Amino acid sequence: MEDCIFCKIISGEIPSYKIYEDDFVFAFLDINPTSLGHTLVVPKKHNKDVFDIEEEYLKRTILISKKIAKKMKEVLDCDGVNVYNNSGASAGQIIFHFHIHVIPRKNGDMVDFKPIKVSEDDLRLICDKLKIEE
Ligand code: 5GP
Ligand code: ZN
């Protein structure tokens, strides 16, 4: 869809730190992460929110979210993950292309869901660790 940042990321028009891609789903690092490794999992077809998304795309997107959560546990040694979606401006949605946030968590990490400071090097390093080849 024209003028959708996430559609442009999927097409490669806007660069991203890609974690995973198949025919239906694309996953990449959030540019303003809540914790290091914060990943966004998006269906390749433009659907706005949870009300709008086609079931097949929803299934595939949540299954890849699980795959990424497992990889986070494996390579980042996190204790848990937040897996969530914001649908609608009232719920805090900013980008109106459906996406699932997957956020690695450690016991006592004090994450407050505000962006943390990260460098390009941090993102590159974490991307290399989390990357899943299809
Ligand atoms: P929402 O509030 O819509 O659920 O979350 C949108 C997320 O997209 C935010 O966490 C924000 O940091 C992230 N985001 C916005 N623009 C970009 C971008 O151009 N690249 C990347 N990688 N993430 C983005
Ligand atoms: Zn889109």
User: Would the pLDDT of 104 be above 80?
Assistant: yes
Is 35 close to ligand 1, i.e. is its CB under 6 Å away? no
Ligand 1 atom with minimal separation from the 115 CA: 12
At how many degrees (to 10) do helices 120-130 and 55-76 cross?
100
Q: What is the DSSP track for 92-124? A: T--S-S--EEEEEE-TT----SSPPP--HHHHH
pLDDT digits over 16-32, tens only?
A: 999 999 999 999 999 99
pLDDT of 37: 98
pTM of the model: 0.98
* CATH superfamily of domain region 5-130: HIT-like (3.30.428.10)
Q: Where are the domains of the chain?
A: 5-130
Residue 7 Cα to ligand 2 middle (Å)? 4
Rounded CA separation 105/88 (Å): 25
Q: In what order do the strands lie in the sheet with 18-21?
A: 18-21, 25-29, 39-43, 100-105, 80-84
Q: Which ligand is in closest contact with the Cα of 8?
A: 2
User: Would the pLDDT of 134 be above 80?
Assistant: no
